[in-house]
Structure 1
Amino acid sequence: MPSAPHQPKKSKSLFVCGACGAQFPKWSGQCSDCGAWNQIEERRVPVESGRRAALSGYAGAAAAPAATVHDLTELALEVETRFPCGISELDRVLGGGLVSGSVVLLGGDPGIGKSTLLLQACTALAARWTQEALRGYQHPVLYVTGEESPEQVSLRAARLALPRAAIRLLAETSVERILATVEQERPAMLVIDSIQTLFTEAISSAPGSVTQVRDSAALLVRFAKQSGTTVFLVGHVTKDGTLAGPRVLEHMVDTVLYFEGGPSGTHRLVRAVKNRFGAANELGVFAMTDRGLRQVKNPSAIFLARQAEPVPGSVVLITREGTRPLLVEVQALVDESPLANPRRVTLGLDQNRLAMLLAVLHRHGGVPLFNQDVFANVVGGVRVTETAADLALVLAVQSSYRDRALPLELAVFGEIGLAGEIRPVPNGLERLREAAKHGMRQVIIPKANAPKGGIEGLEIRAVTRLREALEAV
């Protein structure tokens, strides 16, 4: 009896959002789940027959072997294995060092120094490898380059005066070949530069597409969890500063780091926006030199490079980035506006919060700014997101509007409520100690943050209302 001819599998169109992975029966310009525009693409998926689809329900699931369920009390509490990479600022952002089996995603603008930082981290870890052996690994690092040739990476290492003999280099973009090589090398740290250049042979789409980036990252994450190798993924960013590729990529990895700072500036900031093994919003500060990135151990001294004489519209803010208190300068410029709607421009601060604080300043401070342009800036390119910057921003605006300079040795912090009250902020004592260490003599803080014994050499003015803070200056 002749065999039946082979019937090709039927397929249907399915529209999937590349940002969040939501599925839709038809195409639309905006994803209704995440709000992203022009991210929905068409994909072909096989259609199961009626009998097979009916059997794939509960009955088919019950035929599969059951998984093992654990009780939390039965699991042994093991301390996570960490080892420093040799760059203390990078170790701080990572939460104390590299964690075995973790996956770190590093994003930033082109030319900001992502490859330079990872190349320096590779050499620092290789130098540590010569001093003490890392158990279970054959080599310290393996650098996989998909954008540059091996000669270009070698020239960069020579320009930075790095020991090139300690770095093992692989120029490859196929994930299957990379994983086959890594299984032979067994490195402690694997660097992929970059994830947008990789492709898996199981998918026919071009490298850099949403499907390729997601599936390639999934294979690397699975390998890291099984082998214990720490994987660094370099990612590109879009025009608005977010990581390119599917949004699910940030959910797959353990740590997400952003490289901040303009390419023309001298300082670079590495900020952790997600960290499963440490504090989020931790900050590492570097200075770009002709020998690569140099660590800045005391960033407050750099961000406080102020004028020799006090100027209106400038005040020192005691902020906190992760576990580190930081002193930065907040500047404001208030000028009469020729427009019907005055401008509210911020750099490093929340523009909506500035508009709210100006309304509070008018209602509870008696300062009308409805016909004034207000510009606010944080010196040094630092981005401050915490509400402790409210009091500093309001005092800087008041100083510029009245054209009266504040003392150079004055520092402030505090949150302002809509009723004009000054609310406390976390870790007030650490902020005061940081201010005293850098020569501040006066501080204006919320009353609830005032220490009982005081701080030696520091005059503390505790306030509860906005009018009290304005009268204090």
Structure 2
Amino acid sequence: METLPTGISVLDREFGGGLPSGSVVVLKADPASQSELIVDRFSRPRACRYLTTVRSADAVKAILTLGGESEGDGSGGDAETVVEETDREDPIDDVLATASDLPEGATLVVDSVEPLEAADRSRYGSFLTELRRHVDDAGGIAVVHAFKGGNGQNRVVTEQVADVIFDLRTTVTGTEIVNRLIVPKFRGGAALEEPLKLKLTDTVSVDTSRDIA
């Protein structure tokens, strides 16, 4: 099983080089957080098919253009990222069509999963099974952006099928915004024993500031 860089150097160090190929990764976050920065970094180390279910393709492309170069593979430039909008009423078929044609070792981003979770449970479960099979066949990874407070029972199915879960927790106090990344689930690797404190501004880095009670 090959290990694929995430595009975030600190995560790659924690995970011994990156994520196992064939993994379905779920990034859980608050809608008002800077989680899009993490998704952006995941898209950069290798060829990526980026499917947006809510925002326009132009809006996503603009953010990706501003994001700078990847930290992931040291190649000095980003691999090709193709951004497409899905059918707003029924995105499942669009996602599966793209997954079935995923380049070898590529990343598939689904941003965000809520419109897909709105399907009935049986269809959604079949979708996740087929998605995982396509990603495994390509030896790539799928990154599913999932906002907290999502669609009830189907969110449980999303997390059950996921191989890796990143849980970004954002806390706002009177003086600062604190982001902690928790990894409670990691098939094929070791989950983090402690939260990882991140600084999310216009990039992703480790926050070395001390917590003051």
The interval holding the TM-score normalised by the smaller chain is: 0.7 to 0.9
Q: Name the counterpart of 1:234.
A: 145
Aligned amino acid, residue 177 of structure 1: D
CA–CA separation in structure 2 for the residues paired with 1:107 and 1:92: 21
Residue 169, structure 1, aligned to residue 79, structure 2: no
Residue 216, structure 1, aligned to residue 127, structure 2: yes
Whether the 8 Å contact between 2:39 and 2:145 is mirrored in structure 1 is: no
Per-residue CA distance 1:318-372 (angstroms, 9 max, x = gap): xxxxxxxxxxx5xxxxxxxxxxxxxxxxxxxxxxxxxxxxxxxxxxxxxxxxxxx
Find 1:141's aligned residue among 25, 30, 48. 48
Q: CA deviation at 1:102?
A: 1.0
Q: CA deviation at 1:161?
A: 4.4
Find 1:250's aligned residue among 129, 138, 159. 159
Q: Name the counterpart of 1:179.
A: 96
CA–CA separation in structure 1 for the residues paired with 2:161 and 2:53: 21
Residue 273, structure 1, aligned to residue 194, structure 2: no
CA–CA separation in structure 1 for the residues paired with 2:23 and 2:123: 21
Per-residue CA distance 1:373-421 (angstroms, 9 max, x = gap): xxxxxx4xxxxxxxxxxxxxxxxxxxxxxxxxxxxxxxxxxxxxxxxxx
Q: SS where residue 268 of structure 1 aligns?
A: strand
CA–CA separation in structure 1 for the residues paired with 2:199 and 2:107: 24
Whether the 8 Å contact between 1:111 and 1:263 is mirrored in structure 2 is: no
Cα-Cα RMSD: 3.0
Per-residue CA distance 1:47-66 (angstroms, 9 max, x = gap): xxxxxxxxxxxxxxxxxxxx
Higher relative contact order (CA 8 A, sep 6+): 2
Q: Name the counterpart of 2:109.
A: 191
Change (3 A) 1:255 1:185: closer
Aligned amino acid, residue 198 of structure 1: L
Q: Name the counterpart of 2:199.
A: 287
CA–CA separation in structure 2 for the residues paired with 1:260 and 1:93: 18
Q: Name the counterpart of 1:437.
A: none
Q: CA deviation at 1:302?
A: 0.7
Find 2:168's aligned residue among 254, 259, 276. 259
| Residues 241-390 of structure 1: pairs in structure 2 closer than 5 A | 245-262=154-171, 265-282=176-193, 283-289=195-201, 291=202, 293-296=203-206, 299=207, 301-304=208-211, 329=212, 379=213
CA–CA separation in structure 2 for the residues paired with 1:225 and 1:232: 13
Q: Name the counterpart of 2:6.
A: 85
Provide TM-score, normalisation by structure 1. Answer: 0.38
Aligned amino acid, residue 197 of structure 1: P
CA–CA separation in structure 1 for the residues paired with 2:132 and 2:157: 13
CA–CA separation in structure 1 for the residues paired with 2:2 and 2:49: 20
Q: CA deviation at 1:208?
A: 5.1
Name structure 2 gaps, 5 residues minimum. Answer: 70-76
Whether the 8 Å contact between 2:165 and 2:185 is mirrored in structure 1 is: yes
CA–CA separation in structure 2 for the residues paired with 1:160 and 1:97: 20
Whether the 8 Å contact between 2:102 and 2:138 is mirrored in structure 1 is: no
Name structure 1 gaps, 5 residues minimum. Answer: 1-79, 127-139, 200-206, 305-328, 330-378, 380-473
Return the index of the structure with the highest Cα Rg: 1
Whether the 8 Å contact between 2:38 and 2:204 is mirrored in structure 1 is: no
Q: CA deviation at 1:263?
A: 6.2
Aligned amino acid, residue 145 of structure 2: V
CA–CA separation in structure 2 for the residues paired with 1:278 and 1:256: 12
CA–CA separation in structure 2 for the residues paired with 1:286 and 1:117: 10
Provide TM-score, normalisation by structure 2. Answer: 0.77
Q: Percent identity?
A: 24
Q: SS where residue 209 of structure 2 aligns?
A: helix
Change (3 A) 1:184 1:255: closer
Aligned residues: 199
Q: CA deviation at 1:177?
A: 3.0
